[in-house]
Every structure is written in structure tokens, then in C-alpha cells.
Amino acid sequence: MKNKDGKLLLYSTVFGVFVVGIILYMNDCFEGKNLIFNSLSQGEVLAGIFIAFPTLVTWNQSIEQSKENKKNTVSDNVRDTVKYYDKQLTELVADISKAKELPLYKAAKIEYIIDTYNKLLKEWNEISTLDISLDFVQVLSTICSIKYPKGIENPGNELAENWKYNLNTALKPVMREIISLKKEEMFTSKEVKYFSYVEFGATGYEIEKVKFKDKSFIECTFSADFIDSNSFEECEFINCSISDGQLSEKNEKELLNNTIIGTFRDSNEDDFANVNNEQFHSTSVSEYGTVFDSREGIIADNYILGNKFFEIESKPKPRKEIYQDIINGLVSYGIGVDDKINNKKISISKNYITETNKSEFIDGSLFFGWNSLFSEKIKKSNNFKYYIFCIKNENVYNTIVFEKDNFSKFLEKKNVDKTGKYNFYFNGFKDNEE
């Protein structure tokens, strides 16, 4: 028995003797005529009172000891759990590092280990306060050091799509844990080079005062606040976008001082990097219709106004004036589009087809664009009557128009990616009626 516990038991015994003495003294003062003190003065009652106080102390000590034993048991279990899952991660990471590749089953295993580990620790969290964790730093350094395959910027590249998905599967839970442990400085490490599909600035992925240098971000999204709170130097942005907020002119210029590959869309889904592309024309391939979404393999003709795309010219000028040229052009085609600007959502993509890479696309494609819209923004936008997608060839905008109801039907055939976006891979082909 601990000294503190022994003293407490002694004090409770002395207190019990004191209470018994008081009762006997008061009963004597009343000469046994007070019913309460007379009853309390009975031998079995006095014995009960005398024993009660040490007994309560003993019970309390027993309860506290039980809690302590349970806490020690839980702590031992936590340590054993950490050792077990850390060993699993270490062996898996060593295997990934040796092979220099991250297949899906290994990425999924990382995700599973972390999720299972967290579920077990959650059950013990109220009792255990141990400051221990898995070696997430080692995992991050390994999975983020495997370079992306060639052609990562081109939509529909199977190897690239697998690389992006696999990295994101393992990366998101690892990043979440590192951020929760306040070890954000790891993101500045030279070994940590590649990020894929990460929603920087979203809940759980808020980071401040990190200097990202020589990093590659592939199809990542950033909140404007995130860009404001961190810095980027000699980084590479491949088909990225701003999820919400408006970039300041200063931050936009700073981002453009880095390397932009493919597109970089602002919160309006417009490409502020404004990368030009070559014009390319070819022959008709009727099996794909006039407008074909190769992302999910959907012929769009029956969902779009006029059942085809429209060519509209607009010379370089402010964005709002380009939008107005597009709307005026659609009005001139007489397909029922009004001249209002506020009821239209316009998204502009470059044409990814060039003379040098045309063999990589569906034979006969006049253009191939990549537009994207956030699912949540579509749900919240009740003011748009038309959804307009443009694929730019120099000064020509190949324009595809959906009315709201038909656009909703079209979306039922499509899937949302891991960042919450619908991606549209619009191929255009020559209209057979022309």
C-alpha cells in the first residue's frame, strides 16, 4: 500500500473514532432521553459508523487502482498496436521504395493500415494520452518521391490516371495525420516532390506558412486563402484549379512565375494561365457523333442545342468581352439562346490536339478539350439557364451549349472525381450534314 493511501486510511479511522465519541458524549448530555442519539449509541450502530469511513476510503482506493491498472493495460495495448502497424508500414514502404512504383493494392494497404490504426486508437483515446504515432514522415517521403509518367498533362492517359489515383489514395490519409501532428515542415523536404488530387485548403488539409519549393502539383485544387497563406517557388502546376475564393492580382502573378503545364483554372473554371494552342482540322468519324465526351464515352449530340458545336470568333481581349462575343455568336446562330450574360455558365479550355500529338487522340478529332465544373457549385447555382463549354483554337471558340434540364440529364451519365469535379473530355468531329 502506498504511504499516501495508508495515511488516508488512518485518518478515516481516527475520524470514525471521533464521530463515535461525539455521539456517546451527546447521548450522555441528554441522559439517554434524546431518541436520535440514544439510537445512534447502540453498539451495532456505533460499529457500523466506525467501520463506514475506512470502508469508503478502501472502496475509493480500489476503484482508483482499478482505473490505473486499466490505464496501464490500455497504454501497453496502444504501444503494442503502434509497434505492430508501424512494422507493417515500414515493410510496405521499404518494398515501395525498392520497386520505385506505387501500385493500387499497396496504396490501398497504406490507407487501410492508417484507418484501422486510427479506429483502434479512438476506442482507447479517452483513457490513453500517450504521445506516440506511426512513422508517417517515412511514408510521405517515399510515396511522394515517385515521379509521374510521361504525358501526365494529357487527359485520358491510362498510366497517368493510375499514377494520380494511386498516389492520392495513399497520400490523403498520410497528409491528414502529418497535419494533425503539426509536422507541416515535412512538406518542405526535398524528398517530398509530388502531390496528386489533393484539395489544399479543404477541412483537414489547412496549412499555413509553408514554403513549397520544387514541388509538382497534379490536378490539385487550392483555395484562394491557401495560396495567400503559403508560398510557391520553382513549383510545377499540372492541370490545377482554384476551388473557391478570388486570387489577388499579386498572387496570380506569383503563381504564374512557376511552371504551368496544361491549365490552371480560377474559381470560375477559366484558365488564367491562358496557354495558346495550335489549330487542327481532320475528317469526320460519325460513330462518335458530332460532340463526344470521351471521359465516360457519351455521345452528347442529343443533349446539346443544335445537336452540334458552333464556331465563334473572338480576338484576344478582356475575358468579359470574350464571353460577350460568344453569347452574341450563339444568338446569331438562331438556336434560341438569349443575349443575357448572368444566366450562363461559360467554361473555356484550350485544344489539346496539335500536329505532333494528333495520333494519340481519336482519329478524326477536330479538337479535344478538357473542361471541369465542381459538383457542389452546380448544385448551388440556380441562376444558370445555359451551360456553355468552349474549346479554343487560336481565335476560334468551338462552342457546345447545354440547356439546364438537358445538362442535368447529361450529368446523370457522368462520374465525379476525387476532388469533387465533373470532367468533360469533349471531342469534336465534322458535322455529317455539312
Label residue 282 by pLDDT band (50, 70, 90): very low
**pLDDT of the residue at 83:** 78
Residue 108 · residue 171 · CB < 8 Å: no
3-state secondary structure of 307: helix
Label residue 6 by pLDDT band (50, 70, 90): low
Choose the most confident range, by mean pLDDT, from 111-125, 142-156, 211-225, 347-361. Answer: 211-225
Return the number of other C-beta atoms located less than 10 Å from residue 428's C-beta: 27
**pLDDT of the residue at 281:** 36
Statement: residue 129 has pLDDT above 60: no
Statement: residue 38 has pLDDT above 80: no
Give the integer Cα–Cα distance in Å for 424 and 293: 6
Statement: residue 266 has pLDDT above 60: yes
**Count of CA atoms in the C-beta half-sphere (13 A) of 250:** 3
Task: Give helix then strand counts, H and E, for the chain.
Answer: 11, 16
Average pLDDT in the 259-284 region? 63
**pLDDT of the residue at 289:** 86
DSSP 264-282: EE-TTS-BTT---------
- Residue of 293 and 80 predicted with greater confidence: 293
What contacts 44, CB < 8 A, 6 or more positions away? Answer: none
Identify the burial level of 219 via C-beta atoms within 10 angstroms of its C-beta, where 0-12 means exposed, 13-18 middle and 19 or more buried. Answer: buried
Label residue 44 by pLDDT band (50, 70, 90): low
**pLDDT of the residue at 432:** 55
Reading the block at residue 147, the C-alpha cell is 515521379
Mean pLDDT of the chain: 81
The single-letter code of the amino acid at 289 is G
pTM, entire model: 0.59
Q: Give CA 152 to chain center in angstroms.
A: 21
Write the CA distances from 192 to 6, 170, 428, integer angstroms: 57, 14, 39
Label residue 51 by pLDDT band (50, 70, 90): low
Bridge partners for 413 per DSSP: none
Which residue is associated with the grid cell 494528333?
358
pLDDT in tens, 211-231: 999 999 999 999 999 999 999
**pLDDT of the residue at 3:** 54
pLDDT in tens, 318-373: 888 999 999 999 999 999 999 998 999 999 999 999 888 888 888 889 999 999 99
Identify the burial level of 434 via C-beta atoms within 10 angstroms of its C-beta, where 0-12 means exposed, 13-18 middle and 19 or more buried. Answer: exposed
Residue 345 region, left (φ>0) first, then alpha (ψ -120 to 50), else beta? beta
Label residue 277 by pLDDT band (50, 70, 90): very low
Reading the block at residue 325, the C-alpha cell is 462575343
What contacts 278, CB < 8 A, 6 or more positions away? Answer: 351, 353, 354, 355, 393, 394
Residue 149 region, left (φ>0) first, then alpha (ψ -120 to 50), else beta? beta
- Residue of 286 and 192 predicted with greater confidence: 192
Statement: residue 389 has pLDDT above 70: yes
- Let me know how long the chain is: 434
Label residue 198 by pLDDT band (50, 70, 90): very high
Write the CA distances from 121 to 81, 118, 183, 250, 254, integer angstroms: 8, 5, 20, 44, 42
Give the integer Cα–Cα distance in Å for 324 and 86: 58
Q: Give CA 48 to chain center in angstroms.
A: 64
Residue 193 · residue 215 · CB < 8 Å: yes
Percent of the chain whose pLDDT exceeds 70? 75
φ/ψ of 377, rounded to 5, equals -70, -35
pLDDT in tens, 7-16: 655 555 556 5
pLDDT in tens, 15-34: 656 665 666 666 667 666 56
Which residue is associated with the grid cell 498510366?
159
